[in-house]
Structure 1
Amino acid sequence: MRSLIISVLLVLSLYGLASQAWLAEDAAITLRAVENLYETRGPVYNPGEQTEVYTHPLWFSILVIFRGMGLDSSITAVVLGSFLALLGLMLLVKSPSRPESTPTPFKYLHLIIPFMLAAHPGFRQFGASGMELGLLTLVLGLFYLMLEQNRPAERPGLLGLYLGLLYLIRPELGLFAVWYGFFFLWELIRQKHLGKRQRIVRAIRAAMSILLVAGSWHLFRYLYYGELFPNTYYAKAGLDSYWLQGAKYLFHAVAFGPTAWIIILLVAAYSYLTYYNSPTIQDPAEKSTDWFRLLRDIGAPILMTAYVIRLGGDFMAFRFLLPELIMLAWLARRIFTIPLPARWNGWLSRWDSRPAGTLAAFVIICVIGMFLPVPAAYGYIASERFHFVRKFESQGPGLLNARNHPWGQRGLELSRLQSCLNYRTFRIANSQAEATCMEGMGLGYVGLSAGPEVEIIDEQGISDSYVARLPILLRFRPGHEHSIGTLEVLAKNVIFCETGDRRYDEIMSTDFGTVVRWDPDLLATLPDAENRLKELAAYKKEGSPAIEMLEKRYNITVEELQSRSPLWNDRRMEEKRNCWKSSES
């Protein structure tokens, strides 16, 4: 019967992940860096700019390896992430245990936990999104299995390895590593049977494991990128506090992820029973160990949740609280490993002795959880998959290819234009808040589709270290609150952006945006270039702030450009002028 329950869990999990499979916008940002590295442009977003745009170095490195095998990076990211998420779920199938005791007497009841996690909308959405959640689920599972089977003081090297890997999957798990490192040292001190030298050696082994794994990447980051932290750390406001929005984010995650309620309830029961059983435990050492383990393992998700709340959460529903949910799922299993009150034990034993009814209950709850709706938007918190995929499902099931999204199509058009013009330093900006440069588009789909020759300056600072360090003027949507003005855009030498001077913007308008780069080689390719310059010269006499600004920026006047324009009427330029029309067709 156990095999049947596991088989049903596997089928439902596969359905849950496959039905939500998609390539997330943030995953496409990472994949652009993967493609650039594969094309020998470096692990960067814009070639020539040494900026780290991803926050999951281990996941990035794995994707690079698979890309080197000749596999499609987008499909690989989604399929591999889903597979790893499934493996992580299957680790929860193993019967829970404690380092000093035999496995649980219950054969089936702990299986409700992977059923609930598999049905959770956030887990399904981001487990099959091409992002790092699948890898995180697997490594966190291996870490908690180690805690169930061994005391960390007995496996210091393995402890350091897992903590280092977790930090390279999600940087905020550095707090997780510090927390468990503190309790590891505390446990070492409590090991009276170990000599002083043995304790020091074990502490060094754990520290060396973390340093070799996480420290090696920090060294590479400093030598290659010139930074100790990823650029997204600065772009996402660093350690600024935003408690109110963070509380709203937590409320949203709890309210619209009801299968997590059962996991949280089991964790609460485990915590209560550890306290309830304390007076009945005769051995002081065992009592102390139970309290130590409870404080250590409950404290970690509480600490991580507090950090997310302080940061303000994110605009993507569930995502930033999924690691904490996985931690709680592993803690929930422990209720089946501790002494239970007679009434509890009898009731649970009856359910465990009726596997058919237990399976039916698990399946019903899981299926209901899968089909409960999540709002498309709740304040500044949005269901990201809904906004990126469901609005465009007719373009392709699941949106596994960035080019199937309108932003990806825009990237293709820009790539064709750059290739047709054969124009280097083809730099654009996706600014919309202050300076309005391009039609609304993100950074991932358009960047992955456009390729390395199209450089994109990101308004949110993800791909630009300068923008990432600009002060935030208004807090409203955590992680996406930066903006850049027209002068900053022009300083970046972008090709398209509105100037705010209506007449200038009309004269220099194209299907891709308003041309603001006054490079003669670029202007020569514009359709009706001579007529545009004549209109600019006439408008200049009326007094144009945009023309005055651009003349100073590029140290060239409209009249000088006009004097060069007769030289632009050759066959080669005529062909390039057609590029502006054919790139969108």
Structure 2
Amino acid sequence: MEFTIVYSNRARRWLIALLLAHVAYAVAFIWRSSFVVQGERFFCLFDDAMISMRYARNLAHGHGLVWNPTGERVEGFTNPLWTLIMAGWHLIPWPMSKASLPIQITSECCLLANLLILARIARQRLSEGFALLSVACAAFYYPLNNWALQGMEVGLLALLFSAGVWSTWQCERSRLSPWIALLPSAVAMLVRPDAAVAHLVFAFYLLWRNPEKRPVIVAAAFVWLLVCVGGQTLFRWVYYGDLAPNTYYLKMTGFPVFWRMTRGTLHAAWFWAKFLWPFAALALWHWVTVSRRTGPAGEGTREESLRRISADTLAPSLLLLGLVGAQTLYSCYVGGDAWERIAGANRFIAPVVPFAFILAFGTLEHLGGVQRLFSRGRSLGLIAYGFAGLVNPNMFFGPSSLAYLVLLEPPLYKADNERNVRLALALREFTQPHATVAVDYAGAPAYFADRQMIDLLGKADRHVARLPAHRNVLGVSRFLEYYPGHLKWDYKYSIGELQPDVVCAIWRRTLGDSHRYLHGTYLQGEIAGFSVYLKKGSPAIRWDQIPFTPTEVAAP
């Protein structure tokens, strides 16, 4: 396999312009995701990321890697290294309203570094123009930018996966040892333990392509797996008393495996069908109308295209395809994510979508490129390719989603973030520091309210996470009824037994189950669109500061 990574000066200028455009886009995105509450501008991450932020702040402040400073230790996160990075930023005394901003900037740095490595990967597989096009599509792929710039570890994982591809190719050429080549995927396993899936893809690829180094490759793959995943497991057992994160029990137990995987498979199939159909249509158009033409020496024929394929030329693409396939299969196995219908690519698939762009454009280029695909002219081809790579992948819930891509609409989840912050600030005002608050949003309300919290949906509650899942919650077919992280609750325990001073933000689909434990004991009101319930006579509530007139809870 020969490495072709040289860009012309003109292409380099385009690449620099692309990187600068991405910086400008990220600045606009981050600013659009912020909001003003009580005269102060707040930067806030996606709620799951704010769960990690609460763990990070408690660690930085000396309370340990815990959700609540007091009480049982529960590992309610699955991104340990990313949480530690957050903790590092919390060592700087940022105002609470600005603490999320450095995380967003860190994610943008990861995205930029990823684009630089992708440019090298794409140039290895594609001509200069197609390489730049694939990088541009990755740069402005909204789901990846959204997850990363809203504080999830997705941007860092995308960077590490790309670094893993490049280092693996270098090892294939004997330019790196297997120990170094597998280091990016080892770090990825520290970011998320389930990155072991990608780690195994890299290892098996090296075993296939470097048979003479198999003992070293096996040793390196096993040791990194043992150190990174085994080390986390040992720490978890000692520190939390569990062998798996609490979210594993929450999402992977108590629900039929078949129906969980069915839901994940249907979402993955629908995602890739929507993503790939323009590329498939372009490829079919070429195959039907162009490749039958004959020319000098058989140019343009199917046979000529097939002759250009060999094991050496195909192998690097198989690594990319293996990563895309493995992450997709993993997403199927775990049942997908809770947000596909809103945000397109989920958090398992989004980091490898840039590889899908490279593979898709590589296929089209192999079939002939713009000139041979569209005999009427280059412009029509570029429009078609632009639709396939830039427009269609960002129409994750229809054409209206393009308004999010160009930031005519504020980033997804901004409205929820603002409501959560308003709720949290109100809680700080009318509760004492020792008050206990039960919530279903376990991120932003817990972080900004800074009170002892109870997680109603179980991400940070050991008891709830191990319960059987409720069924038929969404009122949809059993093929789609699995809803990761939202099917377990026990209000008899969380409200009836734990008796929080305040109960708020109960998920509307579970509200009916809570009334029997609220009626007669709690008074109700509303803050920022959330129902709020106050325990009668609680000394932890500043009753004169309540921003509403409390009323009795209706009988169940």
Q: Same fold (TM over 0.5)?
A: yes
In 2, the alpha carbon distance for the partners of 1:486 and 1:31 equals 29
Superposition map of 1:285-304 within 5 A: 287-289=310-312, 295-304=318-327
Aligned-pair CA distance for 1:165:
1.5
Instruction: List per-residue Cα deviations over 1:540-563 (Å, max 9, x = no partner).
Output: xxxxxxxxxxxxxxxxxxxxxxxx
1:226 aligned to 233, 238, 241, which one? 241
In 1, the alpha carbon distance for the partners of 2:318 and 2:372 equals 28
Alpha-carbon distance change, 201 to 170 in structure 1, aligned in 2, over 3 angstroms? closer
Q: Is the 8 A contact 1:235 1:468 kept in 2?
A: yes
In 2, the alpha carbon distance for the partners of 1:263 and 1:364 equals 13
Aligned-pair CA distance for 1:150:
2.9
* Matching residue's letter, 2:337: D
1:547 corresponds in structure 2 to none
Superposition map of 1:153-302 within 5 A: 155-188=177-210, 190-191=211-212, 199-238=214-253, 240-241=257-258, 242-251=260-269, 253-254=271-272, 262=279, 280=307, 287-289=310-312, 295-302=318-325
2:420 aligned to 387, 401, 407, which one? 407
2:128 aligned to 107, 111, 114, which one? 107
1:43 aligned to 65, 71, 76, which one? 65
**What secondary structure is seen at the aligned counterpart in 1 of 2:119?**
coil
Instruction: List per-residue Cα deviations over 1:346-372 (Å, max 9, x = no partner).
Output: 749999xx9x99999887877756985
* Matching residue's letter, 2:263: Q
Q: Does 1:494 align with 2:494?
A: no
1:536 corresponds in structure 2 to none
2:351 aligned to 306, 323, 340, which one? 323
**What secondary structure is seen at the aligned counterpart in 2 of 1:428?**
strand
Aligned-pair CA distance for 1:314:
1.8
Q: Is the 8 A contact 1:63 1:73 kept in 2?
A: no
Q: Is the 8 A contact 1:443 1:458 kept in 2?
A: yes
**What secondary structure is seen at the aligned counterpart in 2 of 1:513?**
strand
Alpha-carbon distance change, 250 to 208 in structure 1, aligned in 2, over 3 angstroms? closer
Q: Is the 8 A contact 2:278 2:388 kept in 1?
A: no
In 2, the alpha carbon distance for the partners of 1:256 and 1:248 equals 12
Superposition map of 1:350-369 within 5 A: 368=391
2:297 corresponds in structure 1 to none
1:464 aligned to 450, 461, 465, which one? 461
In 1, the alpha carbon distance for the partners of 2:263 and 2:410 equals 21
Alpha-carbon distance change, 460 to 501 in structure 1, aligned in 2, over 3 angstroms? closer
Q: Does 1:7 align with 2:16?
A: yes
Aligned-pair CA distance for 1:277:
7.8
1:78 aligned to 75, 85, 104, which one? 104
**What secondary structure is seen at the aligned counterpart in 2 of 1:463?**
coil
* Matching residue's letter, 1:231: N
1:88 aligned to 114, 137, 142, which one? 114
Q: Does 1:57 align with 2:57?
A: no
Aligned-pair CA distance for 1:448:
0.9
In 2, the alpha carbon distance for the partners of 1:458 and 1:251 equals 33
* Matching residue's letter, 2:100: S
In 2, the alpha carbon distance for the partners of 1:410 and 1:206 equals 47
1:515 aligned to 510, 530, 535, which one? 535
Considering only aligned residues, what root-mean-square deviation do their CA atoms show, in Å? 4.4
1:582 corresponds in structure 2 to 545
Aligned-pair CA distance for 1:469:
0.7
Instruction: List per-residue Cα deviations over 1:7-42 (Å, max 9, x = no partner).
Output: 332244234434443421111111111111111111
Alpha-carbon distance change, 371 to 152 in structure 1, aligned in 2, over 3 angstroms? closer
In 2, the alpha carbon distance for the partners of 1:295 and 1:52 equals 36
2:158 aligned to 131, 137, 148, which one? 137
Q: Is the 8 A contact 2:145 2:155 kept in 1?
A: no
* Matching residue's letter, 2:452: E
* Matching residue's letter, 1:582: Q
Instruction: List per-residue Cα deviations over 1:560-583 (Å, max 9, x = no partner).
Output: xxxxxxxxxxxxxxxx87x22225
In 2, the alpha carbon distance for the partners of 1:359 and 1:292 equals 28
In 1, the alpha carbon distance for the partners of 2:93 and 2:466 equals 37
Q: Which has the larger radius of gyration?
A: 1
1:146 aligned to 167, 183, 195, which one? 167
Instruction: List per-residue Cα deviations over 1:215-260 (Å, max 9, x = no partner).
Output: 33333222212222211111123593424432442255346657x9
Instruction: List per-residue Cα deviations over 1:195-233 (Å, max 9, x = no partner).
Output: xxxx53453234333433443333322221222221111
Aligned-pair CA distance for 1:323:
2.5
Superposition map of 1:395-474 within 5 A: 405-419=418-432, 424=434, 426-430=435-439, 442-451=441-450, 454-474=451-471
* Matching residue's letter, 1:84: C
In 2, the alpha carbon distance for the partners of 1:11 and 1:357 equals 27
In 1, the alpha carbon distance for the partners of 2:192 and 2:281 equals 23
**What secondary structure is seen at the aligned counterpart in 1 of 2:13?**
helix
Q: Is the 8 A contact 1:120 1:369 kept in 2?
A: no
**What secondary structure is seen at the aligned counterpart in 1 of 2:452?**
strand
* Matching residue's letter, 2:215: I
Aligned-pair CA distance for 1:157:
0.6
Instruction: List per-residue Cα deviations over 1:421-451 (Å, max 9, x = no partner).
Output: x5x3x32322xxxxxxxxxx51111011111
Q: Is the 8 A contact 2:160 2:185 kept in 1?
A: no
1:26 aligned to 48, 51, 58, which one? 48
Name stretches of at least 5 consecutive residues in structure 2 with no aligned partner: 1-9, 34-44, 292-299, 402-408, 472-480, 504-513, 527-531, 549-556
In 2, the alpha carbon distance for the partners of 1:466 and 1:133 equals 29
In 2, the alpha carbon distance for the partners of 1:514 and 1:524 equals 8
In 2, the alpha carbon distance for the partners of 1:308 and 1:116 equals 23
Alpha-carbon distance change, 334 to 491 in structure 1, aligned in 2, over 3 angstroms? same
Q: Is the 8 A contact 2:196 2:225 kept in 1?
A: no
Q: Is the 8 A contact 1:115 1:363 kept in 2?
A: no
* Matching residue's letter, 2:80: P
**What secondary structure is seen at the aligned counterpart in 1 of 2:19?**
helix
In 2, the alpha carbon distance for the partners of 1:164 and 1:490 equals 44
In 2, the alpha carbon distance for the partners of 1:319 and 1:20 equals 19
**What secondary structure is seen at the aligned counterpart in 2 of 1:236?**
helix
1:481 aligned to 487, 492, 506, which one? 487
Q: Is the 8 A contact 2:130 2:361 kept in 1?
A: no
1:551 corresponds in structure 2 to none
Q: Is the 8 A contact 2:436 2:454 kept in 1?
A: yes
Alpha-carbon distance change, 202 to 358 in structure 1, aligned in 2, over 3 angstroms? same
Q: Is the 8 A contact 2:279 2:388 kept in 1?
A: no
**What secondary structure is seen at the aligned counterpart in 2 of 1:429?**
strand
Q: Is the 8 A contact 1:127 1:134 kept in 2?
A: yes
In 2, the alpha carbon distance for the partners of 1:45 and 1:77 equals 19
Superposition map of 1:372-411 within 5 A: 372=395, 374=397, 388-389=413-414, 391=415, 405-411=418-424
